[in-house]
A and B are shown apart, each in its own frame.
Chain A
Amino acid sequence: MARTLKEGSSQQQNVMSDIEIADLYQEMIVDHSRRPRNFGRLEHPTHQAEGFNPLCGDKMKVYVDLENDVVRDIRFEGEGCAISKASASLMTETIKGKSKVEAEQLFARFRDLATGIGHETHLGKLAVFSGLKGFPTRVKCATLVWHTLRAALEQTPGVVSTE
């Protein structure tokens, strides 16, 4: 009896772990990681910064064209995992046309979503990252580009780090 129960629960766990993987690597995330939008340099950016995650070696550059505190254009460059590339791609899509203050608010909401303390509301496409909450080791992959954006907007000199 006990054995049957154990097998039952382990099957449930099996399914759970498959669901979690499907939650994390949703179609939109895989798509954006394979074909990142706004990828490449921006000629003559008003702001730019470079981000680095020393744990995995991922590097990310963000170029911003800021006018009257509004992001007119934004692009990124870098190599990384599917999560970090998709996050950068979707961030650039979302952030275009937003003000500095709105960008900061989005970052806060995004971080709360990724760490599982926030909800998917007011995040638009970024809500696709809700699966991250089951993968605490991968949260930094998704937030690297946001840290880099913040550094660019603040024009923090040097390289920002997730650590």
Chain B
Amino acid sequence: MSALRVVKSGEFDLVEVRRDFPALHQKVHGKPLVYLDNAATTQKPKAVIEAVDRFYKCDSSNVHRAVHALSERATKAYEAARSTAKHSINARSEREIIFVRGTTEAINLVMNSFARPRVKAGDEVLISALEHHSNIVPWQLLAEQTGARLVVAPINDHGELILEEFERLLGPRTALVAVAHISNALGTIMPLHEIIRMAHARDVPVLVDGAQAIAHVRVDVRELDCDFYAFSGHKVFGPTGIGILYGRESLLEQMPPYQGGGDMIRSVTFAKTIYNELPYKFEAGTPHIAGAIGLGAALDYVSRIGIGRTAAHERELLGYATELLSAIQGLRLIGTAREKVGVLSFVLDGVHPHDVGTVLDRDGIAVRTGHHCAQPVMDRFGVPATTRASLALYNSKAELDALAHGIRRVKKLFAA
């Protein structure tokens, strides 16, 4: 692989950005690491690693409890992270920002505390055909428990939601719409404005699974007008085990707690417990304090680079990669939406994705192979699995050249 060129588009300095991520500068099987599995999880910048490190070295203590200095510092840092998240997605107040384990827990929280109490047998939850399992299975659990029905809006051959079908399926029994912002398997950006407008015209609340969006596009919950928005820290350069559920305050107020325990109460007697105010009502037990602080640092990092500049860089990479991969004979891209982010899912004639992944790994190239926790998407395109290269702000054109070179090597190895 040739040395990295200094690429400057606006103020985006790729060499500078890459310097921020220590994990990128290693060799894997003797080759420079080419990390293209960002839709699974992202690498962490020094700012995040140092924030977590600093907490454990200096401020480690519990939040919202003691009067001592360490607890005060921990509480301050934890709440500052909430504030950062609030600004990052433009929520109205910190009361709408709930720390959870990740997108999956956020969706399960909404299922348990919002949907289950109000859904009746025969009601419907409308999702799309490109959802991740984490935005399918909770609703199947709800259906089992309440007799509600799961309704799935179809996608076309490019992997785009068929909006007319979606609107047709929004019916008098639709209790909730739950859709991804961006597909993890295909990269499709969903037409959220239209989806939310159509749903709200029928008084149907909308949950958005933002796991794949938060690191790649601007997220503004007020402008979107969504009712819930969920994302994971580790997909936006933050730690694992921490994420955010945004909820419209008026809805969160009506919802019962998700879990009971410490921190989520105002007073407890054996006769009656009074719950804490928002957002603490939904944060039972000692939270992942270090994770929250790390997530705050990650969101700060993203805003320092600028999501607009990030998106522009990734768009350029996506165009370049699409051209490179399309030129490889026998390679079929799965997911060719007009509006998409840097996800390149593909199948190679006569070669199983796992073999592609193994050969690429020995070239130092990390890609994901398999069904990407989206088996219905694989079924829709009639493939058991795909190989997926997914981009982030620190990827370069040279890395995409390495990918294309690696794929050609795979082809040669398995040539008839």
- Is B one of A's binding partners? yes
Asked if B27 and A13 make an inter-chain contact with CB atoms under 8 angstroms apart, the answer reads yes
A18 and B350 CA atoms in complex are apart in Å by 21
Known: A14-B31, A21-B413, A79-B384. A56 touches B362 (CB 8 A): no
A34 and B414 CA atoms in complex are apart in Å by 9
Complex interface: chain A residues within 8 A of B370 (CB):
55-57
Instruction: Report the minimum CB–CB distance from A79 to chain B (whole Å).
Output: 6
- The total of chain B residues at the interface (CB under 8 A) is 24
Interface of A is mostly: helix
Known: A57-B370, A57-B371, A79-B384. A141 touches B354 (CB 8 A): yes
Asked if B413 and A56 make an inter-chain contact with CB atoms under 8 angstroms apart, the answer reads no
Asked if A14 and B354 make an inter-chain contact with CB atoms under 8 angstroms apart, the answer reads no
A102 and B30 CA atoms in complex are apart in Å by 41
B358 within 8 A of A: yes
Chain A residues 1 to 36 lying within 8 A of chain B, measured CB to CB, are: 10-14, 16-18, 20-21, 24-25, 30, 33-34
A82 and B31 CA atoms in complex are apart in Å by 24
Instruction: Report the minimum CB–CB distance from A65 to chain B (whole Å).
Output: 28
Known: A20-B362, A30-B414, A34-B416. A25 touches B355 (CB 8 A): yes
A56 and B358 CA atoms in complex are apart in Å by 13
A80 within 8 A of B: yes
Q: Name B416's closest neighbour in chain A (CB-CB).
A: A34
Q: Name A141's closest neighbour in chain B (CB-CB).
A: B354
A137 and B362 CA atoms in complex are apart in Å by 13
A60 within 8 A of B: no
Chain A 44-64 interface 0/1 with B at a Cβ cutoff of 8 Å (1 = within): 000000000001111000000
Chain A residues 129 to 163 lying within 8 A of chain B, measured CB to CB, are: 135, 137-138, 141
A55 and B370 CA atoms in complex are apart in Å by 8
A81 within 8 A of B: yes
Instruction: Report the minimum CB–CB distance from A22 to chain B (whole Å).
Output: 9
B375 within 8 A of A: yes
Chain B 221-260 interface 0/1 with A at a Cβ cutoff of 8 Å (1 = within): 0000000000000000000000000000000000000000
Interface of B is mostly: mixed
Instruction: Report the minimum CB–CB distance from B375 to chain A (whole Å).
Output: 7
Instruction: Report the minimum CB–CB distance from A152 to chain B (whole Å).
Output: 22
Complex interface: chain B residues within 8 A of A135 (CB):
358
A83 within 8 A of B: yes
A79 and B352 CA atoms in complex are apart in Å by 9
Q: How large is the interface on A (under 10, 10 to 19, 20 to 34, 35 or more residues)?
A: 20 to 34
Max chain A C-beta neighbours (<10 A), residue from B30, B31, B413: B30
Q: Name A31's closest neighbour in chain B (CB-CB).
A: B416
B403 within 8 A of A: no
Chain B residues 365 to 404 lying within 8 A of chain A, measured CB to CB, are: 369-371, 375, 378, 384-385
Chain B 156-198 interface 0/1 with A at a Cβ cutoff of 8 Å (1 = within): 0000000000000000000000000000000000000000000
Instruction: Report the minimum CB–CB distance from A78 to chain B (whole Å).
Output: 10
Complex interface: chain B residues within 8 A of A12 (CB):
30
Instruction: Report the minimum CB–CB distance from B141 to chain A (whole Å).
Output: 19
B29 within 8 A of A: yes
B351 within 8 A of A: yes
Asked if B358 and A10 make an inter-chain contact with CB atoms under 8 angstroms apart, the answer reads no
Asked if A138 and B414 make an inter-chain contact with CB atoms under 8 angstroms apart, the answer reads no
Instruction: Report the minimum CB–CB distance from A35 to chain B (whole Å).
Output: 10
Chain A residues 114 to 134 lying within 8 A of chain B, measured CB to CB, are: none
Q: Name B356's closest neighbour in chain A (CB-CB).
A: A81
B359 within 8 A of A: yes
Asked if A82 and B414 make an inter-chain contact with CB atoms under 8 angstroms apart, the answer reads yes
The one of B30, B385, B414 that contacts A56, using a Cβ cutoff of 8 Å: B385
Complex interface: chain A residues within 8 A of B384 (CB):
57-58, 79
A17 and B361 CA atoms in complex are apart in Å by 9
Instruction: Report the minimum CB–CB distance from A27 to chain B (whole Å).
Output: 10
Chain B residues 55 to 104 lying within 8 A of chain A, measured CB to CB, are: none
Asked if A82 and B351 make an inter-chain contact with CB atoms under 8 angstroms apart, the answer reads yes
Asked if A82 and B27 make an inter-chain contact with CB atoms under 8 angstroms apart, the answer reads no
Q: Name B413's closest neighbour in chain A (CB-CB).
A: A25
Asked if A138 and B354 make an inter-chain contact with CB atoms under 8 angstroms apart, the answer reads yes
The one of B30, B355, B375 that contacts A83, using a Cβ cutoff of 8 Å: B355
- A-B pairs, 6 with minimum CB distance: A13-B30, A81-B352, A81-B354, A17-B29, A17-B362, A14-B30
Additional pairs, 9, CB under 8 Å, beyond known A17-B29, A30-B414, A56-B354: A14-B30, A17-B30, A20-B29, A21-B359, A34-B416, A83-B354, A83-B355, A138-B354, A141-B354
A: residues with CB less than 8 A from B are 10-14, 16-18, 20-21, 24-25, 30, 33-34, 55-58, 79-83, 135, 137-138, 141
